[in-house]
Structure 1
Amino acid sequence: MAQRSPDQPTISWTLLALVGALLVLGGAGWLAGVPTGAEVLWAAATVVSLVPACYWVVRALRRGQTGVDAIAVLALAGSLAVGEYLAGAIVGLMLATGRTLEAYAERRAARDLSALVAHAPRSARRRTAEGAVEVVPLAQVSAGDRLLVAPGEVAPVDGVAEDPAVLDESVLTGESRPVERAVGEAVASGVINAGPGFGLLATATADQSTYAGIVELARAATAETAPAVRLADRYATWFLPASLLVAGLAWLLSGDPVRAVAVLVVATPCPLLLAVPIAIVAGMSRAARRGVVVRGGGTLERLGRAETLLLDKTGTLTGGRPELAETVPAPGVDGDRVLRAAAALEQLSPHVLATAIVQAAVARSLPLPVPTEVTEEPGAGIHGLVDGEPVRVGQLDGHPPPWAVALRHRAASDGSAIAWVSLDGGLAGGLRLRDPIRPDAAATVNRLRAAGLRRLIMVTGDRELVAEQVGRSVGVDEVVAGCTPADKVERVRQETRRGVTVMVGDGVNDAPALATADVGVAMGARGATVAAEVADAVMTVDELERLADTVAIAARTRRIATQSAAVGMALSLAAMAVAAFGQLPPAVGAVVQEGIDVVVILNALRALGGGWRPAASRAWRPGAPARSE
């Protein structure tokens, strides 16, 4: 990623304002019949432009790069040397405008991980020897301390469960279903308590715990991300020596240094300094209107030439929220009665699956009475009275009947969870809940291929059987299951060695991989702030198809930027030839270059439109080519 000093945008805007003012004042002085004053003002504009331009060139050389600014420096210096101050002022204005646009395109949120740390627990509930609970800073927690994790809280350190616990581990493992931990089982820091409060025996300090390790992985991955070379600078690798050669020959053969300056003035790569940033900014604006915030022009440019896409499963290809997939009543029992009783009881439960059960009952317009005498047993279930009838929702006790065995098999085959419902002491039915695949996932995968991505890989911490089923359903090329955050980082590293790689995810477990990829895209619509902080692009709308739109926009933007640069440089080369034969004075050449700028800028502005299908006409079918224009 391009790393720019924090004051770069301020410098660029200040330079643009100052040079523009001096150029205009000089023009006013010339029109007023004060040519000497005009020359002084134009010379000042040239000097003001030359100083920062020299700094930018030196900085690029120290990084081993030869940027487009080198030609501008030579043109500015040459204009001063031969007294062509108006030409120098115009070149300075073009340089300042290009730098300002580039600074705007490249400006992005800082990629420090302070927010990742900020979202980590800062305190813990520690039990005292007297049995009381005190809130202490996280740094004071030591191995062996007995803690209490309240409902909805994040486990502050690694430990062992002292009570049965229901945990949402999706932020660490990608596993979408709540996980039940029995007494004595390990609990990792960073997981969310999705059930009642439970006791936790700390086995590590905060610095030694799982969450801290993920923070460090993300920090290391970000630190090793090398700065990208500007798109314009890649063209400059051949344009710069070509310009110097033509200018040198013009001076050598004519003996007139003014001709060399004229060549350098028209060679000043304004199509690169202006058209490329304008196209990039236009593409970023287009992506933002589609609900994807791209943090910098370099990101959009890399996204436009990406070859491989890695996607997390939970929250990316799937919805990330359990939904009721099936209500299976026991023979002779009404299914709505089973769902109504379970949902009425679950109204008072903080369990992750409870919300899905209640929502399903509400969607069917089932009346939900207020339950009484409700008691929840962590890891076992919840029971109480609904309309005076004993109801229990939770695990299955005893030997299951044939219909329950069949339901278990279906659940095991697709990774679903089952909430068993008992009415008046007898098993009445089962509610199968699963994390559904996004309805647009398969179509989006095909659209991503049509946009130019060659390999699509799903990486997930979920089980292999479940992951393979999701992978087959959406049509990815490869499925990598059972991944830890470190496994995801290593796989991203492998793919980046083969080509430009994009990683898409939404949880804490994805943050290190997002920071490692050439382009990290966070599904941030539901508040995945940790992933968003280290990502290069954030999807603010919870629709996967917006990613395909953005890839198409990025590819089109890059194509337009390349076209603008190519056409502009071709016209500049033609003008250089005319200047070399003495038919184009420096000041006139600067005006001609401005005309070339207008042509390429108008072309660059095409990036503001096209590149995706409007929602109203998006009758897309799998395998159909994506619209690119």
Structure 2
Amino acid sequence: TGESVPVDVNVGDTIEAGLVLAQGPVRCEVLAVGNETRLSGLIDAVHTFREVPPRLHSGIEKFTAIWVPLVLFGAFAVWYFAFPTDWKIILLLWVVSCPCALLLATPVPHAAALSNAAQRGAVVRGGDALERMAHVNHILLDKTGTLTSGKPKFGELVMAKGRRKQSALQVMMGLESRSNHPYAVTVVEHCVSEGIKPASIKELSDIEAGVSGMHGAAEVAFIRPDKADAMGFSVEQRLIDAFEAAKTQGHGASLLVKDKVAVAMVTFIHDDTRDGSTELISAMKERNINIEILSGDHQQAVSEFARSVGLPESAAHGGLSPEEKVAWVQARSSSHVTMMVGDGFNDAAALAVSDVGVAIGTGEAVNLEAADVLIPGDDPRMLTEMIDLARQAQRTLMQNLFFSVFITVTLVFAVVQQWYDQLWVGVLVHELSVIIVILNGARLAQNGQSFKLLKETLVSMVADTRVAFSSFRSRYIPMRS
């Protein structure tokens, strides 16, 4: 559920399938299988939430719901009250009121923006998701794996008085190179980067508090500091102080012991903050978007991380189960347009219930189904780019809507005022307005895609016009024998 460090379990505790066993073996009793499992319940929740219609509806849908019947019946009203003897006025009004540019006002900028997003490495599922994303004002972020790597980072090495750093690292590397200790990979990687060679360790074994072995005639161990007293190990005050400081900061620690005497303390930063996480938080603040962190990790670790990236402790919520994340998102969605960002299958239901779900750096099938936006990489700054792109698309869409409505209303007014009565004038102005709308929307595409999009749209328009004309000619124009 998102813990960045191992959690102790005892006899009788309930554990979840899919957890990583740090030390074992353990014997478990299966409580549920198949459709009765918690994972199955989360998948069902994803399907349920995805079937619920979105709260935000497209602006163009709202407008056309009013515009189309207004045009159809308005033309009859104008004819009946203003020009009762001229049936041509109905046909003329229908032609000039046809929302050609209006119908392209939304799909063109959406298509261009989706193409732009794809070139940046993100996949946005349709224009509806893009439009909802433009209105997001509250983001809920998973921590482990989204803003952090989920892997511990080597912190500080504190030596006991009179002990040598190099020899301590050699023993640590010897103990951890063949261990499944939670910090083993981190220790080995650090030692390799320092050019340290592992000491020869014999009789290596896992113990309750860590790992132990024999280095020559000396018994050595790499253990949890809080187990030192119970195991009868002697720890000097400077190492105890280092351990207490690490706990205060939400960091982990391990103690190197030789012949029951502590010789060194290593602190570990539980979660290595991903590059770009701090920049993401700052960028969202600049855009007046509220941010909260929802995590299954311990509250202390989540609070410490929030402070490190510039968020208040009140925005950090730890110890949450997947179901509690869903409830939290639902509560925020009642008063905000929400975006949920996560990477694990435990975030899938929360992604589905939010207005915009973003799966980042994930290959989980259930997440891919739940999300509206897929970001395969691990750079959280991509979120800022996607929100900016969505807002730019929304501005372009509104420009197109205003322009197309203005042109249509102007033409209708001109017909009613009898400034012209030729169909070709209205058709010409309409087609020019269509080209302008396409060009304006296509600006959102990148790397030469604007011209390609314009070309494809115009080709499609010409093809549809030919089909319509052929159909009209075959039906209403008699063929010569």
Give yes or no for TM over 0.5: yes
**Corresponding position of 2:277:** 441
User: Alpha-carbon deviation of 1:239?
Assistant: 3.0
Change (3 A) 1:334 1:212: farther
CA distance, structure 2, for counterparts of residue 413 and residue 528 of structure 1: 35
Quickly say closer, same or farther: Cα 1:374–1:307, change in 2 above 3 A: same
* Deviation of the 1:501 alpha carbon: 0.8
Segments of structure 1 that go 5 or more residues without pairing to the other structure are 1-171, 611-629
Structure 1 segment 29-44 matched on structure 2, within 5 A: none
- One of 471, 485, 489 as aligned partner of 2:306: 471
Match of 1:338 in 2: 168
Equivalent position of 1:533 in the other structure: 369
* One of 224, 235, 240 as aligned partner of 1:395: 224
Pairs within 5 Å for 1:310-389: 310-368=140-198, 371-377=201-207, 379-385=208-214
Q: Deviations over 1:404-423 (max 9, x none)?
A: 32232123223222222223
What is aligned with 2:451?
none
Report the TM-score, using the length of structure 2 for normalisation: 0.82
Distance 1:194 1:578 in 2: 78
SS of the residue 1:419 aligns to: strand
Letter in 1 for 2:443: R
Q: CA deviation at 1:444?
A: 1.3
Q: Tell me which moved more, 356-365 or 593-602.
A: 356-365
Alignment of 1:539-554 (within 5 A): 539-554=375-390
Q: Aligned-pair distance for 1:438?
A: 3.1
Aligned to 2:239: 404
Match of 1:435, as an amino acid? Answer: D
Q: Measure, in 2, the Cα distance between the counterparts of 1:384 and 1:340.
A: 13
In the aligned structure 1, how far is the partner of 2:200 from the partner of 2:420? Answer: 91
CA contact (8 A) 2:175 2:211 kept: yes
Deviation at 1:367, TM superposition (A): 2.5
Question: Which of 30, 42, 49 is the equivalent residue of 1:214?
Answer: 42
Q: Does 1:261 align with 2:91?
A: yes
2:249 is equivalent to residue 414 of structure 1: yes
Does residue 570 (structure 1) correspond to residue 406 (structure 2)? The answer is yes
Distance 2:288 2:228 in 1: 54
Q: Which of 458, 463, 482 is the aligned partner of 2:319?
A: 482
- Match in the other structure for 1:33: none
1:248 match: 76
Q: Helix, strand or coil for the counterpart of 1:279?
A: helix
- The 8 Å contact of residues 203 and 214 in structure 2, kept in 1 or not, is answered as yes
Secondary structure of the 2:292 match is strand
Q: Which has the higher contact order (CA 8 A, sep 6+)?
A: 2
CA drift at 1:570 = 0.8
Q: Is the 8 A contact 1:422 1:428 kept in 2?
A: yes
Q: Distance in 1 between matches of 2:288 and 2:389?
A: 11
The superposition leaves residues 218-249 of structure 1 with CA deviations (integer Å, 9 ceiling, x where unpaired) of 33333334475333212224433543465234
Describe the superposition over 1:326-381 as per-residue Cα deviations: whole angstroms up to 9, x where unpaired: 2222222223432332223222223442111112222222233665443224x432
Does 252-261 or 429-438 show the bigger shift?
252-261
CA gap 1:183/1:266 in 2 versus in 1, 3 angstroms: same
String of CA shifts for 1:56-82, please: whole Å, max 9, x gaps.
xxxxxxxxxxxxxxxxxxxxxxxxxxx
Q: Secondary structure at the match of 1:607?
A: coil
CA distance in 1, matches of 2:366, 2:155: 30
| Superposed displacement of residue 197, structure 1 | 4.0
Secondary structure, in 3 states, of the residue corresponding to 2:57?
Answer: coil
What amino acid is aligned across from residue 276 of structure 2 in structure 1?
Answer: D
SS at 1:422 equivalent: strand
1:275 matched residue in structure 2: 105
Where does residue 461 of structure 1 map in the other structure?
296
Q: Percent identity?
A: 28
2:250, 2:304 within 8 Å by CA — same for their partners in 1? no
Q: CA RMSD in A?
A: 2.7
Q: Is the 8 A contact 1:522 1:528 kept in 2?
A: no
Give the Cα–Cα distance (whole angstroms) in 2 for the partners of residues 439 and 223 of structure 1: 35
Is 1:427 paired with 2:262?
A: yes
Change (3 A) 1:519 1:607: same
TM-score where L is the length of structure 1: 0.64
User: C-alpha separation between the residues in 2 aligned to 1:524 and 1:498?
Assistant: 29
- Aligned counterpart in structure 2 of residue 522 of structure 1, from 359, 363, 366: 359
Specify which of 339, 342, 345 is matched with residue 508 of structure 1: 345
Output the amino acid matched with 2:113: G
Q: Is the 8 A contact 1:411 1:417 kept in 2?
A: yes
* Counterpart position of 1:234: 62
User: Where do 5+ consecutive residues of structure 2 fail to align?
Assistant: 230-234, 448-481
Q: Give the secondary structure class of the aligned counterpart of 2:167.
A: helix
CA distances 1:439-465 after superposition (whole Å, capped 9, x unpaired):
432221121132342x21122222222
CA distance in 2: counterparts of 1:359 and 1:256, whole angstroms: 87
Partner of 1:600: 437
Number of aligned residue pairs: 435
1:14 corresponds in structure 2 to none
Range moving further from structure 2, 201-210 or 565-574: 201-210
Counterparts of 1:414 and 1:246, CA distance in 2: 70
Against the structure 1 CA distance between its residues 337 and 287, is the aligned structure 2 distance closer, same or farther, given a 3 Å change threshold? Answer: farther
Offset at residue 488 of structure 1 (A)? 1.2
Give me the whole-angstrom Cα distance separating, in 2, the residues matched to 1:287 and 1:387.
59
Equivalent position amino acid for 2:435 in 1: V
Is contact 2:297–2:318 with CA below 8 Å preserved after alignment?
A: yes
Aligned CA distance change for structure 1 residues 593 and 504 (closer, same or farther; 3 Å): same
SS of equivalent residue, structure 1 residue 328: strand
- Flag the 1:413–1:209 CA change in 2: closer, same or farther, 3 A: farther
1:235–1:206: structure 2 CA closer, same or farther, 3 Å change rule? same
TM superposition shift of 1:543: 0.9
Cα deviations by residue, 1:74-131 (Å, 9 ceiling, x for unpaired): xxxxxxxxxxxxxxxxxxxxxxxxxxxxxxxxxxxxxxxxxxxxxxxxxxxxxxxxxx
Q: Does the 8 Å contact 2:138/2:291 carry over to 1?
A: yes
Distance 2:358 2:92 in 1: 46
